[in-house]
Amino acid sequence: MTPTKPCSASRRGSAYVLVLGVVAIATAAGVLGVQLRGMQIDAATTMEQQARTASLARSALEIAIARIAADDDWRETYDGVSVLPATTIGDATVLANVAPVSGNLKDGPATLTARARAAGSIQEASVVLDSYRPVMNSLSASLVAGDDLTVNFATMEAPQPIRANQTWASAANIKADSEVTVSNFGLLYTGSRSTGIEPELPDPAIVDRVGMTAVDVFKNRAGTSDGFLLAPTANTLGSKHQIGEIYFVDCDDQELTFSNFRVLGTLIFINNSKGVTISGGVRMDPMSPNVPVLLSDGDLTIDVDAHLVESVAGQNMNPPDVPWDGNTDNDSTDIYTSGIGGLIYAMGDITIKGGITLGGPAIATDDLLINQGTMFVADNPDLRADPPAEFRLPAVTTIDPFSFRN
């Protein structure tokens, strides 16, 4: 029998080392697996936290959008003030602010940004928004009446429509589109006729607001005031002779008549419960096309002649510093075409007699009557481009649908 050859110690040692190596590899693999599993859990937790925080940011943005949409004056309300102050929700905090894209917050696009913070995760959501206040349809009209607009034995022509609750044409020719709430009566309408369109009237506060910077002309003076000039550098009406661009007359609940005059600026009648009549030769023009030329808190009657004649008025209407068509002089022999070159607004009725040219819409909160003669009302795009604040509707806020970021 062949004797068995004994194993060497070195071979046994090698096997032991191999076994240890395998065990070590297995152990390392197990540890790595545990670590990877932990990392996966951490990653999943982080992603879940980020998703939750992002959702909170979007919710905060929706709340902020709702607050802005409910506030016509959000540009003033949230200028330097958080739309959504820092608010704690569980372990999270959310807030929202609005800031101009450029310039200031008074106008132009603005970015509304909501931020959420939770467990070390910070997420933001934002949109770009803007707002504007539409211009009332009364400024895209020639004549406006809150109640009835009547044209009797007259011709009325304008590139812009007339607007009223309803219109009446009696032996008249209306050369303009008619857009009313209820109905158009009569046959002589050259333009189109539409119903279901309600005239938009301004806040009566415009009389007080514009009058806040006015110069007081006089009070307690019943009867007729004839032959005067009101301009930024001239005031020949009454005894005070203060000058300015806006003048007001306190009618003191008396019936007044103003004849043969020129106004370069704005004339306002207050406490006008008995009615004011404007007659004779008249020339009225605002200092700026977007400023009313004639305002009244009561009824107005406009019954003017074709021309303003200085010799009849007994007043030089274009002295130095008050040019007419670029010319000035020191005599009283000139003749001017009568006209009212801007926006007329009366809290009550307006009656217009005879032929006249208007340079802007005439707006009556009640009735408007055109009686005899020929009237032309010119378009005034400058007035619509930059109207008095009272002639704007509530703000409309828009969101750029492509601006959302999260």
Q: What are the φ and ψ backbone dihedral angles of 386, each rounded to 5 degrees?
A: -145, 70
**pLDDT tier at 219, thresholds 50, 70, 90:** low
Least-confidence region, from 25-39, 103-117, 165-179: 25-39
Token couple for 301: 């009657």
Predicted confidence at residue 39, as pLDDT, reads: 46
Predicted confidence at residue 371, as pLDDT, reads: 92
**pLDDT tier at 28, thresholds 50, 70, 90:** very low
Residue 290 has pLDDT above 70, yes or no: yes
The pLDDT tens digits for 79-110 are 999 999 999 988 899 999 999 999 899 889 99
Residues whose CB is less than 8 angstroms from the CB of residue 318 and which lie 6 or more positions away in sequence, other chains included: 324, 327, 328, 329, 334
Burial of 213 (C-beta count, 10 Å sphere; 0-12/13-18/19+)? exposed
Predicted confidence at residue 22, as pLDDT, reads: 47
Predicted confidence at residue 269, as pLDDT, reads: 94
Q: What are the φ and ψ backbone dihedral angles of 373, each rounded to 5 degrees?
A: 85, -175
Give the Å distances, CA to CA, from 163 to 156, 166, 203, 365, 387: 13, 8, 17, 12, 18
**pLDDT tier at 213, thresholds 50, 70, 90:** confident
Task: Indicate yes or no: pTM above 0.85.
Answer: no
Predicted confidence at residue 190, as pLDDT, reads: 87
The pLDDT tens digits for 45-67 are 567 888 889 999 999 999 999 99
Residue 369 has pLDDT above 60, yes or no: yes
**Mean pLDDT, residues 272-291:** 94
- Contact at 8 Å (CB) between 168 and 188? no
CA neighbor of 269 nearest in space, from 247, 287, 301, 236: 247
Least-confidence region, from 21-25, 109-113, 167-171: 21-25
Cα(248)–Cα(251) distance, rounded to whole angstroms?
Answer: 9
DSSP 3-state assignment of 205? helix
Predicted confidence at residue 246, as pLDDT, reads: 92
Choose between 26 and 361: higher pLDDT.
Answer: 361
Predicted confidence at residue 223, as pLDDT, reads: 77
Predicted confidence at residue 243, as pLDDT, reads: 86
CA neighbor of 249 nearest in space, from 204, 287, 284, 298: 298
Token couple for 122: 């910070």
Residue by residue, DSSP assigns 341-406 as -S-EEESS-EEEES-EEESS-EEESS-EEEEEEEEEE---HHHHHS--GGGBPSPEEEE-TT--B-
**Highest mean pLDDT pick, 11-20, 213-222, 254-263:** 254-263
Predicted confidence at residue 158, as pLDDT, reads: 95
Local structure of residue 240 (DSSP, 8 states)? T
Percent of the chain with pLDDT over 90: 67
**Mean pLDDT, residues 290-318:** 96
Predicted confidence at residue 19, as pLDDT, reads: 46
The pLDDT tens digits for 323-367 are 999 999 999 999 999 999 999 999 999 999 978 999 999 999 999
Predicted confidence at residue 215, as pLDDT, reads: 82
Q: Is 29 left (phi over 0), alpha (psi -120 to 50) or beta?
A: alpha
Predicted confidence at residue 403, as pLDDT, reads: 92
